[in-house]
Structure 1
């Protein structure tokens, strides 16, 4: 690879990382402030949050599949544009259908970056530095998420206090019992969320700017074809045993995660934890993601990629059960839940850079966008099914109601156990250690 090409590749990687940091801030808002806003303004949308995640993932998977035709740059730019549009609309009207569109647009903008990250960074990195770049990209993104969740709860309480004309401390205490709100308090709390969501408009703009500086050429993404030039998802990748088994693993972990992760803020609220403290706890789990992901390259080098993925997932399971049984710890509930969130999140996400890069080795360069799309299609199905399951059954007041949030942790623990067995028994022998040989993928 020439020095000029290396320089351009590094530039594109850096521009993506910078933009992804700001989209991390947007993601932190989407999984914290947006969820509690929906719980106030459109409870039915909040209960089906995973379904919207699934639909957003489905849409973005389709976009990523078009990368060999459109290029990465055009597709990436659409992400911040969608989030900016959504944040403008949420402050224009409180119509439920508009809120549904806003939710879908925000999630699509955020998820798009996750979907395009594997083929994009694989294209612009060498195999030797790939784990390191993936790790840096992901933990800086989570730093952005941490900033959003840390400030989000405090900003909401601050705006809530301002709208009611009371002190921050009084507003914080009120937010610990949302069910006890008067009509005026409920209205002020909803408007406080809208105020905070509007503040994130500037984040969308900042995420957009680095993408405009990407230096992309057709050779980066174009697939040479003879005759028919029409690009579509190539389902032949499923003929690869490992590509198929990884889809099963990915489906299981995404389904399990979709039962708990979108609802952290709601579940902690049902335990009687005030809104500001909830944001602090969620922030702590994002901080854990950053800390643990920094060690991802070391874990990969020391234990191997597959062993790291499986072992870390297994170790996270006991901490899920601690979170689900947080109220059993009495006066130590907040501490116990905080520890559970910190280590569950840290352990499960420590291997995330490896999880993102590993499947790109199952297929050749020209099939990476297609396979990445298929992975996200499977995630879309998993999230959609999880959303239907939670809304229609698990969180439905006719069945388990609020008790379903606790049961979700037990279900996820079982699912993670099954997924761990699959990844360790099927992938360790062949893919635990990377094989560097005649890698021509950088020379595109």
Structure 2
């Protein structure tokens, strides 16, 4: 297995499959236990907040211990967290377990981008990030659809509230597979040498210039995303009365477009430029987000999910690439962690607000807020990273 493929494999196991199942079905699981949307929002927000915490811890520990050890620690914490969510019934303990899951996930999550960018040439970087993105999207399709089918099957045999925990147990075995490529993972000399850097001095580089502008943009988009994305499955299940299998299909369908988009990213960015691709795709996604808030039947809903997800996330390889190029290589782990923190802390806050609004006002209202925030975030990105030169050659590629 090649070095890049080992890194992508770890990402697929942790980011795509396990977190895909956890993110889609945890809200439904908590609702099945008899708790309301406010508790759902709190559980999901703690998970998101903990990802930010885990990312920051990883940035520090990886500078002292290396990525192999910190990723291993993260996988262990994910196992403990997902088992806790599976079997505990007390809301406080569920939140603690969700937090452990988030902290653990934050370790590999903030490491993968750094490992990819340091193990690829500038010429191949967009293609490498796109390959990672496509693999991740395929894993999420498998997770959403496969978990939905398994939950329906288990529901016929066991009590319905036990079906999701059984799928979580399968996720534990998948996490354990993530240890396999770690043993042969080679860390580049640049990353090894960066262990000697002053971790705290890196903040000055990250919290200034283009890096700071990117963090501001990412914070706005993260707040908007947290208002609706974690609640998509709950919205489908309890507002539109769609069964678990169809929820898994629709959520998986939304990822199919990501695979197509991920394959097209290198070519689209050459024509439009990386920055312009981000702006255009985010603006085009907004009408489909509005369509989800006003569903016209399950077919139109599925198409809207597909197109919104494709357009909004097609640019993720570009965004990740752009963010890490705003700082020197020795600060990329820290930048990756701060980007994660800025997104997940705001998502955590917006999840709590969205849960309250969905329970007290309507399921649709948070969508309006998200639309406004996406427009503001896109404007900030365009102003900060707009391409001044003609587009004839595309991006830097």
TM-score (norm 1): 0.82
Q: State the partner residue of 2:369.
A: 411
Alignment check: 8 A CA contact 2:55 2:109 kept:
no
| Residue of 255, 258, 264 corresponding to 2:226 | 258
Q: State the partner residue of 1:179.
A: none
Q: State the partner residue of 1:184.
A: none
Question: How many pairs align?
Answer: 389
Alignment check: 8 A CA contact 1:51 1:385 kept:
no
Q: Counterparts of 1:27-426 in structure 2 under 5 Å?
A: 27-41=19-33, 42-43=35-36, 44-48=38-42, 49-163=44-158, 188-216=159-187, 219-223=190-194, 230-232=198-200, 234-238=202-206, 240-269=208-237, 270-326=239-295, 329=296, 333-391=297-355, 393-397=356-360, 400=361, 403=362, 405-426=363-384
- Aligned Cα root-mean-square deviation (Å): 2.2
Task: Indicate how the Cα distance of structure 1 residues 315 and 233 shifts in structure 2: closer, same or farther if over 3 A, else same.
Answer: farther
Per-residue Cα deviation, 1:394-437 (whole angstroms, up to 9, x for no partner) = 2343xx1xx1x21111111111111111212221236986558x
Instruction: State the Cα distance separating 1:39 from its structure 2 match.
Output: 2.1
Distance in 1 separating the partners of 2:272 and 2:101: 37
Distance in 1 separating the partners of 2:330 and 2:366: 39
Alignment check: 8 A CA contact 2:206 2:327 kept:
no
Moved more, 154-163 or 341-350: 154-163
Instruction: State the Cα distance separating 1:92 from its structure 2 match.
Output: 4.5
Distance in 2 separating the partners of 1:273 and 1:88: 27
Instruction: State the Cα distance separating 1:231 from its structure 2 match.
Output: 2.7
Paired residue secondary structure (1:100)? helix
Moved more, 209-218 or 71-80: 209-218
Distance in 1 separating the partners of 2:242 and 2:201: 46
Structure possessing the higher radius of gyration over alpha carbons: 1
Moved more, 379-388 or 275-284: 379-388
Task: Indicate how the Cα distance of structure 1 residues 148 and 239 shifts in structure 2: closer, same or farther if over 3 A, else same.
Answer: closer
Instruction: State the Cα distance separating 1:105 from its structure 2 match.
Output: 2.3
Distance in 2 separating the partners of 1:51 and 1:92: 18
TM-score (norm 2): 0.91
Instruction: State the Cα distance separating 1:118 from its structure 2 match.
Output: 2.2
Unaligned runs of 5+ residues in structure 1 are 1-9, 164-187, 437-444
Distance in 1 separating the partners of 2:326 and 2:341: 17
Distance in 2 separating the partners of 1:251 and 1:192: 35
Task: Indicate how the Cα distance of structure 1 residues 124 and 396 shifts in structure 2: closer, same or farther if over 3 A, else same.
Answer: same
Instruction: State the Cα distance separating 1:212 from its structure 2 match.
Output: 2.1
Q: State the partner residue of 1:175.
A: none
Per-residue Cα deviation, 1:218-258 (whole angstroms, up to 9, x for no partner) = 64233275xxx653362212453211111111011111111
Per-residue Cα deviation, 1:117-175 (whole angstroms, up to 9, x for no partner) = 22221111111111000110111011111101101112111111112xxxxxxxxxxxx
Unaligned runs of 5+ residues in structure 2 are none
Instruction: State the Cα distance separating 1:190 from its structure 2 match.
Output: 1.1
Distance in 1 separating the partners of 2:332 and 2:372: 31
Per-residue Cα deviation, 1:65-99 (whole angstroms, up to 9, x for no partner) = 43222211111122322222233334544333332
Paired residue secondary structure (1:158)? helix
Distance in 2 separating the partners of 1:64 and 1:224: 11
Paired residue secondary structure (1:17)? helix
Q: State the partner residue of 1:168.
A: none
Moved more, 370-379 or 309-318: 370-379
Alignment check: 8 A CA contact 2:8 2:132 kept:
yes
Instruction: State the Cα distance separating 1:203 from its structure 2 match.
Output: 0.6
Distance in 2 separating the partners of 1:388 and 1:47: 5
